Structure 1
Amino acid sequence: MHVLGKIAVAGLALVVLGGTAYGYANLQALDEVTRDSVIDADGGTRPGEQPADGSLDILLVGRDSRADQQGKPLPPDVLRELRVGPNGDDLTDTLIVLRIPNGTKEVKAFSIPRDSYVSMPGGGKDKINAAFGRGKAAEARRLRNAGETDKAKIEQGALTAGRRATRQAVEDLTGVKIDHFAEVNLLSFYEISKAVGGVDVCLKEATKDKNSGADFPAGEQRIAGADALAFVRQRDGLPGTDLARVRRQQVFLAGLARQVLSAGTLADPGKLSDLIDAVKRSVVLDASWNLLDFVAQMRGVSGGGIQFATIPVGNVDYRYSKSDPRLTAVQVDPAAVKAFAASLIGTPPPVPSGRPGAPVTVDVANAGPKEGLAARVAGVLKDKGFTPGTTGNTAARRTSVVRFGPGLAERGAEVAQLLGGLATQESAAVPAGHVEVVLGTVYSGPGATGGGGAPGGDETITSSGVVCVY
């Protein structure tokens, strides 16, 4: 059973708690938190240092593990309370990057769908959530072949390698230099959500799912513990499946930020103590992270200062295996993802090399149900230097395509890449000097939300208020 709900709430708790005097005093109690050498020795930030890429970047990872951070299996009664079985796997089912621009107190958080099909550290391509398991298994083999027999040393070395491989896969995809790392598992999510007294969320419709244990009415409600885990684990019955589940994760994280900074938490020594204890018991941080220096940097972050988005994606039903066409993944274009990540801190996206100077007009047609989609995508392409053409609706189709006439293959491919890696097709029916974009029902790339946000043009998620989701 996949467990996407193991959101890295602990990392976000550190961010928002660190912005307060309460946080500064209490984080001194975190000396016992588990550390690991995830960041290269020369890659960590020093006290007061402003990262060269313009932003302090923190990778929050949720790992599918039925063990505590010391590697001990969780007791059967705890597994029953969590509503999960005894078998997990070495997948990182939640990946969120927090971007904190130099000199500002705004936090931009973006999610990477776990099934994003990317290049792997060490070669080949796979879903990004497989990077951890591949790195861990390779290091375990290397240590055993080198003659190591101590199981504890092999396990720890393999875990470090898995974490490093995950960090590298994220850096390669996004172009973001990861400065710090936080990892949680099932137990930490459960305990932290209870420690803060629950989190307010809102559902557009009532929902019930036996696989995750979800059973919620429509409307606003407060959830904690096993219910919170079920809320962010549910996949079946949701529109967009994994992308809808990403939205669930984001609204929960936004609610956590509000709750941690609320008077009810900050003025309650018991809740603060429970939160710190939960972090100490179940979180792994990189060895280079100076928490007190981080707290000083984060003074002034407000509950409304965190905004959530999702990287631009292409085909969410991408058939990546010729040998087994039943296998699917989420198609992503690294160039579009890098441009999106850079835009969050105001850095202009890289200009494609070898771009011809002749102007090209792009016509955009919407073949799906999302209102205003063609106009939003046309605006994205205008910002990239293309001349806007016609926009409107067309006959329904599932997948998207970029069509172009003779001599415009390179520009058509550029448009396709900017929109998340869409399929391309040469067509004599396209007018000279034009490129035609047809957006299918599964399109969720740039422009789906006015940017690389959540699919479907849904309301932007911030930590300043409760947003209803499916």
Structure 2
Amino acid sequence: MSAPARSTRPPRPDRRRRRWGLRIALFVACLVLAVSAIGHLLVRELESGIHRVDAFGGLDNRPKSAGGGVNFLVVGTDGRDRITPQEKALYRLGGAPCHCTDTIILVHLSADRRRASVVSLPRDSYAMIPAYTDRAGKPRRAHPQRLNAAYAEGGPSLTVRTVEHATGVHIDHYLEVDFTSFMKTVDVVGGVKVCTARRLKDDHTGLDLPSGSHVLNGGQALQYVRSRHTDGTSDLGRIQRQQRFLASVLHQTTAGGILLNPVRFNAVATTLLGSVRADHGFGAEDLMALGRAMNGLTPASSEFASVPVILPGKPLKGVGSTLHWDRPKADRLFDAIRQDRPLTRRHARPRATVVDVAPQQVRVHVLNGTGTAGLARRADRALHATGFATTGSPADAATKDLARTVITYDPVWNRSVRTLAAALPGAQLKPVPGQGGVMQVTVGSDYKDVHPVRTEDPRRDRPGIAAVTGDEVGCA
């Protein structure tokens, strides 16, 4: 019996599989078209809300772009026209605006979009305003002034020219924020967390924050970044607080998922672009691209620096006190920006406890309260390496069986002893009136090592460019 003949016709394709494949392809195509349409509508909606300024018109002899990346000049003005009377009273914003820049920041986004460098330019910096033609058509010669006066004299364009002239850095985009837009943006992200090691009180702005962590709304945040009368550091102290605030904003927008959430990102972008002013070349698509780039940033990959200045300030006739830049250090800083190089050294640093008084201001004498030979010298060296002003002459204590380390101190120095106690967790504090300015540490058998401590500004006494990363200045 012969086997049944096999059909020579090729097998029919599975029609059901073909239909499903076609349906999936059509679905994907429709999805792509829908997403593209939504994205296009979103961009158009954001684009229509941007307020434009002519920041680059008529500029000549500009610095060349050197090492790649994008440079933003971000200025904060004291405009308060759209703030309600209630807000003006609550946050003490009733004074007349000077129509100048309260804050001037140069932001560099690296070519690989993995690093953001934020450089604050003190508003009282001595600057040479380039020659220009004023609004009435009258030519003005180049003249010395405070940096923030460039905006009052010639608006965004003269501000860009003055900053480029002073720094040698080519500015790609200009963004301007006033009091109202700042407050709205902070509120739309849900407030911003800040931390302080000591109470911050400024009667001029109404700021009053006890030590600890706080989530600030828009008005409170404005008080925080504007205050210059909290600790005697004036504008330089305010710059440090502004950088801590920006580090917290970066952490909140990246770790909080705002950049990955289309609804929240759209709300933030709409609020931001609807209330800031930007150059004609900066559009909604640029903001979207910037948001995507920021999603890859972390506080550790963001850097913060301030132009190094020479203190005290020098008077300028008809102007007042001005801050002259430390030119060699400033040149190194701006050269790193031009060449797209990092400002900070990438090396591991142990997490330090933030303290009010710097360890360099705390004098310490170390005694050995155990039978372990050399323990006092080891502790003396560890404290000195952490920054404490040790006597360098450790000795043996009268007792040899001390179980717990003891710190004796004069109660007059009750703020300074907290720094030492943070470096020696678990140590017993023993006030001794009349002991004087040198604290005494008697190490017990519980001593292991010294815990690192730092002030809120960890860049002090750091070699090279005085820059810090966002994780160093943000909340612990």
Matching of residue 36 in structure 1 with residue 36 in structure 2: no
Query: 1:125 is matched with which residue?
Result: 144
Which of 266, 283, 303 does residue 298 from structure 2 map onto?
303
Q: CA deviation at 1:38?
A: 0.8
Query: 2:351 is matched with which residue?
Result: none
Query: 2:69 is matched with which residue?
Result: 55
What is the aligned length? 312
Instruction: Give the letter aligned to residue 107 of structure 2.
Output: L
Matching of residue 168 in structure 1 with residue 157 in structure 2: no
Relative to the length of structure 1, the TM-score reads 0.59
Which of 325, 329, 340 does residue 333 from structure 2 map onto?
340
**Any residues of structure 2 matched to 1:58-457 within 5 Å, and which?**
58-68=72-82, 74-122=83-131, 123-135=142-154, 162-263=155-256, 265-266=258-259, 271-293=264-286, 295-296=288-289, 299=293, 301-304=296-299, 305-321=301-317, 327-334=320-327, 336-344=329-337, 346=339, 371=360, 448-453=461-466
Query: 2:474 is matched with which residue?
Result: 466
**Structure 1 unmatched runs, 5+:** 1-21, 44-49, 69-73, 136-161, 349-368, 373-392, 394-443, 455-459
Q: 1:257 to 1:320 in 2, by over 3 A?
A: same
Q: CA deviation at 1:466?
A: 2.0
Residues 312 and 336, structure 1, Cα contact 8 Å, conserved in 2 = yes
**Structure 2 unmatched runs, 5+:** 1-37, 132-141, 342-357, 362-388, 390-456
Instruction: Give the letter aligned to residue 285 of structure 1.
Output: A
Q: 1:51 to 1:86 in 2, by over 3 A?
A: same
Q: CA deviation at 1:227?
A: 1.0
Q: CA deviation at 1:451?
A: 3.4
In the alignment, the residues of structure 2 paired with residue 125 and residue 60 of structure 1 have an alpha-carbon distance, to the nearest angstrom, of 22
**Which string of whole-angstrom CA distances, capped at 9 and with x for unpartnered residues, describes residues 349-399 of structure 1?**
xxxxxxxxxxxxxxxxxxxx9959xxxxxxxxxxxxxxxxxxxx9xxxxxx
Secondary structure of 1:245 counterpart? helix
Q: 1:112 to 1:276 in 2, by over 3 A?
A: same
Kindly report the root-mean-square deviation, in angstroms, between the aligned alpha carbons of the 2 structures. 3.4
In the alignment, the residues of structure 2 paired with residue 235 and residue 294 of structure 1 have an alpha-carbon distance, to the nearest angstrom, of 31
Secondary structure of 2:201 counterpart? strand
Instruction: Give the letter aligned to residue 224 of structure 2.
Output: F
**Which string of whole-angstrom CA distances, capped at 9 and with x for unpartnered residues, describes residues 36-84 of structure 1?**
22124899xxxxxx9545331000000111225xxxxx44234234431
Q: % of aligned pairs identical?
A: 27
Instruction: Give the letter aligned to residue 112 of structure 1.
Output: L
Query: 1:416 is matched with which residue?
Result: none
Q: 1:120 to 1:51 in 2, by over 3 A?
A: closer
In the alignment, the residues of structure 2 paired with residue 26 and residue 51 of structure 1 have an alpha-carbon distance, to the nearest angstrom, of 31
Secondary structure of 1:319 counterpart? strand
Instruction: Give the letter aligned to residue 77 of structure 2.
Output: R
Secondary structure of 1:168 counterpart? helix
Query: 1:375 is matched with which residue?
Result: none
Instruction: Give the letter aligned to residue 199 of structure 1.
Output: V
Q: CA deviation at 1:464?
A: 7.6
Instruction: Give the letter aligned to residue 306 of structure 1.
Output: S
Residues 199 and 209, structure 2, Cα contact 8 Å, conserved in 1 = yes
